[in-house]
Amino acid sequence: MSAQLQFKRRVYLLPLIAILLNIASCTTNNRNINRVSLVGAGASFPAPLYERWLSDYNQQNPNVEINYQAIGSSAGVQQLIEGTVDFAASDVGITNEEAAKIKRGAIALPITAGSIVLAYNLTPSSQSPQVNPPTTIKLSRQVYVDIFLGKITNWNHPRIAVANPGVSLPDLPIQLVHRTDGSGTTSVLTQHLSAISPEWKSQVAAGKSVAWPVGIGGKGNEGVTALIQQIPGAIGYVEYVYAKQNKLPTAALENKFGNYITPTPKSVAQTLEAVKLPADNLIAFITDPIGAQSYPIVTYTWLLTYHQYPNRVKAQALKNFIDWAVIDGQKSSLELGYIPLSKKVVIQVQSAAKKIGE
């Protein structure tokens, strides 16, 4: 009797095992079918936020893997033109000339915003054994232009001192640090410098890459940040998050109204309120904001996609990620030091993103 029961159990178990194996196989196949990989490259400005987003999104959507490489806005746009990435990122969007080279069409979506700050290092050195370096420095408009032009070369210069009464400025050479790669951050900064200084506009002008009158170069926001940290007396321009994460002090800059403004979420948001994004391409800049409490160097950063994708699965996966980024992803923006998109801009982005793959 025991042998018969064991035989019957085997008879019943064999079909059950076959069914379970079939289900497992189908599940594996479905996972493989739904798995999608996207590759992006471009601006270093939003890279810390992208890193957070892609990690959070992958945890919620394990079948979607998105990789992003911070190589600079110029290189990101070039890779989009060459078709070697699925999306790019740029702090200056994309020009009509660049977009015309993309047969599949291009869509620019503002994805977050932030400020470009002048971070500096006034830690004591053998040249200037100062015990307590100043934590906050005010720089007038003409002073920071002249630092970039190489006209002001020492931290205790009288024109710096006049805006910083009572501050002990070190007798230390100024070492300017700038970008070496084609950079949207550079473009935004030099557009601002050109707007406030006819001399800068005529001698250097604006662009992703310019002929710097003075200074040494670093690649990406991370490269400039590292050099500022290493060199006593250094000053350079980086996206605010890089200064915040590395605990670098940042200068309060004089705005068009004549007030010295430190980069804070409030002062940056006030500047963005004056930026009107055109409906046709969602790209706009404000090179010299007029608000009394506006921080003067602010920009959106754009995620660039194709209009047409041969792979519909990729197109849909990218659309899903963008929709997540402008809603759930914005919660991480403020935490890291970026500025969340306004409700109006979110609606504009969602409307434009619907055209992806159509």
pLDDT computed for residue 8 by the predictor: 45
Would you state the pLDDT for residue 13? 47
The string of pLDDT tens digits covering residues 196-228 is 999 999 999 999 999 999 999 999 999 999 999
| The pairing of beta strand 298-306 with beta strand 87-90 | antiparallel
What is the Cα–Cα distance from 257 to 143, expressed in whole angstroms?
A: 16
pLDDT averaged per 10 residues in sequence order, the chain, 358 residues: 47 45 40 78 97 97 97 97 98 96 97 97 70 82 98 98 95 97 96 98 97 97 98 97 96 97 90 89 93 94 97 96 97 93 95 94
Which regions of the chain does DSSP assign to beta strands (E)? Answer: 36-42, 64-70, 87-90, 106-120, 138-139, 175-179, 216-218, 234-239, 252-254, 260-261, 298-306
* Tokens at 113, concatenated: 């915003």
Q: What is the DSSP string of 113-131?
A: EEEEEEEE-----SS---S
pLDDT for residue 20: 46
The DSSP bridge partners found for residue 39 are: 67
**Whether 102 contacts 90, CB under 8 Å:** no
Identify any residues that bridge with 299 across adjacent strands, giving them in sequence order.
Answer: 114
pLDDT tens-digit readout, 14-72? 444 444 444 443 333 334 447 999 999 999 999 999 999 999 999 999 999 999 999 99
Q: Tell me how crowded residue 156 is: count the other CB atoms within 10 A of its CB.
A: 13
| Cα–Cα distances in angstroms (integers) from residue 207 to residues 211, 212, 245, 295, in the given order | 10, 11, 27, 21
Q: Which helix (H) or strand (E) holds 200?
A: helix 198-203
Instruction: Identify the pLDDT of residue 270.
Output: 85
pTM: 0.86
314 Ramachandran zone, left/alpha/beta (phi>0; psi -120 to 50): alpha
